[in-house]
Structure 1
Amino acid sequence: MIKILLLLSLILFPNISVFSAQEINLYTARHYKSDKELYEKFEKKYGIKVNYISSKGKVLIERIKSEGKDSPADILFVVDAGNLWKVQESGLFQKIKSKKINSVLPENLIGGDNKWIAITKRARVIFYNPNITDKKDIESLSYEDLSLPKWKNKIAIRSSNNIYNQSLVASLIHHNGMRSTKIWMKNFISNFSRKPQGNDRAQIIAVSYGEAEIAIANSYYIGLMLSGKKGEDQKNAAKRVK
Structure 2
Amino acid sequence: MSTPEPEPTMSPTPKPISLVGITGLTGSAALASLLSAPAPFAVTAFSRRAAPATSHTPGTTYRNVVGELAPTPAHVGTAGGIFVSCLGTTRADVGGVEKQRAIDLDMNRDLAQQARKDGAETMMLVSTEGANSSSWFAYPKMKGELEDAVKEMGFGRTIILRPGMLLYDGDRHVKRTSESIYVSMIKGLRAVGVPTTSLAVDAEDVGAAIAQLAMHPPPEGVTQLRNAELIKLASEFRAAQNKARQA
- TM-score (normalizing by structure 2): 0.31
Which one has a bigger Cα radius of gyration? 1
Higher strand share: 2
